Structure 1
């Protein structure tokens, strides 16, 4: 049902989206739900037929045994109806679960990819997937499945008497028109409201990350004002959509009740004329109410349907923008070299609403860099020069417009990302640990990590004794972001995580920014040991003094490589230039 509504969108793309494939995979379950809906709607005839028999047969014959038999049959059919409806609802919940299970990993990967690309688009794939799952598991699909059965009930009313059928048909047409008007009236507001919900969530997340600064520097009032502005716009649209839906729901309910009473009144008039029986009069009223009920349910769930439809559109566009990767041949572990050639890195492309993608500006240009096993490269330069951009590019993060980065001759995109990650150690400027144990953070969240390898990484980073001093040692929970640890402790555990598994390429971005003298000595020793075993270590720093353990150096200024060579030569040349400029 949900798939059919958007089939026109799928036909525009030669390759079906993962979401469309997931929905197709549960098509059989949808058909089963539709079949159960048919059984349910047929069983809904129990009430009208029971009333018809009571008025026209039991009362006329005054037969108590007939009444008892009808009551028993009616109770049995209603019990069966309850079982069918319960089974249908449970199947829909599992359909939503199944779709989420298939699409969830890709939605999560797309979310992380957005962060890596610094994509600020108002799209939250996991939130959109939640919206779709909630709709699939709710009452909306039930109302959609019940709608095709409206002609059955209206047809039976027509069989009772054409005038009764015509009146019920007019009521049905009127309700459908009101439903379409409701869709047109709320579509843009729902879309705008969803964007504002994403903006609210982003602001709250930014506030959570900067809670200390907000409190310390008296920013609570201005932060609250920012939140209030976003929240006011969200609530205004939310209220507008709610007002429209509640108004249409109320009038649709009134029209349904009026139609039911109108059919009853018309049936009474026809009964006076002896064109129908009293039983037909009551049964026609009940059937009219049942025929119009799916429309009332649909309008009540219309907001969820519109939200799910827009979420699906955003997800499909988001998945289409995500780079497709095919299965790759597993390459041997790199052991020899790192080569960078004619590298150009751009800022992420941006897309204004209603406009095509615009390429981002060039952030970095690197000509040629060749490193062999055991080399240590120090990268220095002023703030904002592109040092961290280069470090992220070396580990496969960023938008590379031109050039190549190769490990043992293989470009980075020749590797499966997870497989490549086992050969890379990366310590970013801002170390953020997971809300888990110290051991699991060092082991990169692996459940099957060898405890010996975890302890070896901690010892290599010089943090083993510090971990043992924690309340539960390696089993200490560090809290969200590592909140129970100091900045230096987080950085040293982050270094241990970078060294876990003896990776071949180790990139350390400002690794000594939060370290004391003991931590710096541990860092120097860790770099020395890593180079000794044949790893390539790249250290990014502002100060030349941080390059004591490397043999090569590079200077980056204004997004360009301006010098590369032996460390002592580069530092001597740099100091001479500083002296001349002074």
Structure 2
């Protein structure tokens, strides 16, 4: 079983977690000081009861009673204030911890190589924050005070101290047993919950396909199959936690009764007063309360511990790269050297040993059969899929030498499945750039010939498009995605099947946009099955079985393809020459 996160040494922690813990350290010190004062004030109730039974009642003094009542009232007011302060400190620590890690974990979550473990990072950070802002840490902080209260009971009489000590050891044993019994179910529940959340997301995004193909019943049954392991793990984990919680509560009440019994025997023997007897019962309850609270919060503690461990493992496995020096904007050429690319979770490369060179103003069409590796190559060219071997260079600088966001500003990308985000049309075109100007947004929209279409929408550029652009048609999404790719005139524009959902007007707009990019000395790479777009490009690369079978001038390559096709069957195809930009 993995050790709990408080036992990890600083050397075992990822740098980000070490920094976050270091930032919280001063607040933790204040929290400890507040806890010391709070636990000392707890003695006020026991002392007050002792004095009531041993001084006030025998003496019959109302003035003494009034004075004691004022003092204990003040003590309880301070206790309430300190408890509120401690609660707010815990909330502040949890929010500070979350704030220091949220951007790093969210950025890491978007790494496709993590697969379903990516979104789990966000849930893990939420689990840790929820635990830190809850009552669990209070139980852990107060637990050492059990020794103090048991020691006080020993000073009163050894039988009282021994009773409380044995009871405390039994409860600690229950705590350790709860850890052993709930650890594995908690891990299984977390794993099952992550799989279920991924399936929910997939079912929601593909609901139209599911209904169209009559898959709803099968998917619902698949959902039931996925939900069963989670329910089983939660049943075992929740059952174990509830069992140990109930046993600990009953045992603490039993212990209080045993302390009262021991105190009563001392009173009968003349070795203690009635006040001492009742005060000892209160002290015993206070001594054992943190252990009971820890057991009650064990489910949250177990989840937070597992989440912390996963966060630490992922942050250490994928450390933040040091900042790179800024490079000048690319403007001359784009070179691919012996490139091999694999899928984020794949083991073998899908595209192998691809090399070519494009100069400013070039336009390349990647053609070939489905499954030939065109889309995979595009993913490797812009750095979103892992490069197994080789290099991609902008003006001689490898893509790995650039900050991802910095090189991203010089790349325009339109994927096969246009992926827009919840927000307005303007925000999506501008890539959610907070410094975007309407001039830049409108310029990109005009290049994609979507400006007039946007103006006809209810709120123009401020029209919300919903998650994944669900309020738009497929063609509208593709045109807005094209405008996003053209935003601020990137040097390299990569388009994957950009005309798959376009009508004649959209095809013309796409061709005009490609010509405009080449005329301003940008580079365009298009993966295409429809040959119309070839008219505005000057080079062709043919992908077959993950390799670049041929690359060169458009007319020469296309002639060779036609000649090869004619040897198999008659083909009538015409491509109009295009003036190089």
Q: Indicate the residue corresponding to 1:42 in structure 2.
A: 40
d(CA) in 1 for partners of 2:210 and 2:493? 34
- Cα deviation, 1:499-534, whole Å, max 9, x if unaligned, reads 000000000000000000000000000000110011
2:548 alignment partner in structure 1: 561
Matches of 1:538 and 1:214, distance apart in 2: 34
* Range moving further from structure 2, 494-503 or 429-438: 429-438
Note the C-alpha offset of 1:9: 5.7
CA distance in 1, matches of 2:414, 2:5: 47
* CA deviation vs aligned residue, 1:168-211 (integer Å, no higher than 9, x gap): 11100000001100100010110110011101100000011101
Does the CA contact (< 8 Å) of 1:405 and 1:412 recur in 2?
Answer: yes
1:456 pairs with 2:443: yes
CA distance in 2, matches of 1:499, 1:156: 75
Aligned residue runs from structure 1 range 414-425, under 5 A = 414-425=401-412
> Where does residue 93 of structure 1 map in the other structure?
91
Q: In structure 2, how many angstroms separate the alpha carbons of the residues matched to 1:567 and 1:34?
A: 73
Match status 1:528 vs 2:515: yes
2:472 pairs with 1:474: no
- Cα deviations across residues 399-456 of structure 1 (Å, max 9, x unaligned)? 1121111001111111111111111100001112111111111011122211111111
Partner residue in 2 for 1:339 = 335
SS of the residue corresponding to residue 369 of structure 1 reads strand
Larger deviation: 482-491 or 207-216? 207-216
Distance 1:544 1:569 in 2: 15
| 1:21-100 alignment runs, 5 A limit | 21-100=19-98
Q: Which moved more, 1:169-178 or 1:468-477?
A: 468-477
Q: Is the contact made by 1:378 and 1:553 (CA closer than 8 Å) also made in structure 2?
A: yes
Conserved? CA contact 2:511–2:536, under 8 Å: yes
Deviates more, 1:246-255 or 1:219-228: 219-228
2:121 maps to: 125
Match of 1:199 in 2: 195
| Comparing 340-349 and 535-544, the one that deviates more | 340-349
Q: Kindly provide the CA deviation profile for residues 453-504 of structure 1, in whole angstroms up to 9, marking residues without a partner as x.
A: 1111000011111111111111111111111110000000000000000000
Q: What is the total number of aligned residue pairs between the two structures?
A: 567
Tell me what 1:348 maps to: 344
CA distance in 2, matches of 1:397, 1:91: 41
Alpha-carbon separation, structure 1, partners of 2:532 and 2:453: 26
Moved more, 60-69 or 226-235: 226-235
Deviates more, 1:470-479 or 1:555-564: 470-479
Change in 2 beyond 3 A, CA 1:399/1:323? farther
Tell which deviates more after alignment, 560-569 or 207-216: 207-216
Q: Does residue 561 of structure 2 align to residue 574 of structure 1?
A: yes
Retained in 1: the 8 A contact 2:413–2:493? yes
C-alpha contact 2:5 2:308 (8 A) present in aligned 1:
no
Q: Is structure 2 residue 188 aligned with structure 1 residue 230?
A: no
Moved more, 539-548 or 87-96: 539-548
SS in 1 for 2:536: coil
Alignment pair present for 1:363 and 2:363: no
User: Secondary structure in 1 aligned to 2:330?
Assistant: coil
After the TM superposition, which of the residue ranges 430-439 and 291-300 deviates more from structure 2? 430-439
Query: What is the deviation of 1:24?
Result: 2.1
Q: Distance in 1 between matches of 2:191 and 2:539?
A: 48
Q: Helix, strand or coil: the match of 1:448?
A: coil
Aligned partner of residue 233 in structure 2, secondary structure: helix
Q: Which residue of 1 aligns with 2:390?
A: 403
Deviates more, 1:36-45 or 1:487-496: 36-45
Hey, what does 1:102 align to over in structure 2?
Answer: 100
Corresponding residue for residue 158 of structure 2: 162
Does structure 1 conserve the Cα–Cα contact (< 8 Å) formed by 2:330 and 2:394? yes
1:430 to 410, 417, 420: 417
Distance across 1 between alignment mates of 2:36 and 2:432: 48
Residue by residue over 1:204-257, the C-alpha shift from the partner in whole angstroms, topping out at 9 and shown as x without a partner, is 000111011122222221111111112121111111111111111111111100
CA distance in structure 1 between the partners assigned to 2:538 and 2:440 by the alignment: 28
Q: Give yes or no for contact 1:457–1:501 (8 Å, CA) kept in 2.
A: yes
Flag structure 1 segments of 5+ consecutive residues without an equivalent: 351-359
Equivalent position SS for 1:481? helix
Q: 1:252 is matched with which residue?
A: 248
Give, in angstroms, the shift of residue 4 of structure 1.
8.4
Q: Which of residues 177, 200, 207 in structure 1 aligns to 2:173?
A: 177
Distance 1:203 1:43 in 2: 52
CA contact (8 A) 1:123 1:314 kept: no
Distance 1:12 1:330 in 2: 32
Superposition pairs of residues 504-515 of structure 1, within 5 angstroms: 504-515=491-502
Aligned residues of 1:40 and 1:81 also touching (Cα < 8 A): yes
Q: Determine if contact 1:122/1:195 at 8 Å carries over to the other structure.
A: no
SS in 1 for 2:314: helix
Structure 2 residue 295 is matched with structure 1 residue 308: no
Distance 2:566 2:532 in 1: 17
Q: CA separation of 1:123/1:189 partners in 2, compared to 1, >3 Å: closer, same or farther?
A: farther
Counterpart Cα distance in 1 of 2:8 and 2:78 = 38
CA RMSD across the alignment: 1.5
Select 1:486's aligned residue among 473, 479, 498.
473
Query: Distance in 2 between the 1:344 and 1:100 partners?
Result: 38
**1:321 equivalent in alignment to 2:317:** yes
Q: Distance in 2 between matches of 1:26 and 1:120?
A: 30
Q: Deviations over 1:110-164 (max 9, x none)?
A: 1101x3x372448611100000000111111100000011111111111111111
Secondary structure of 1:60's counterpart equals helix
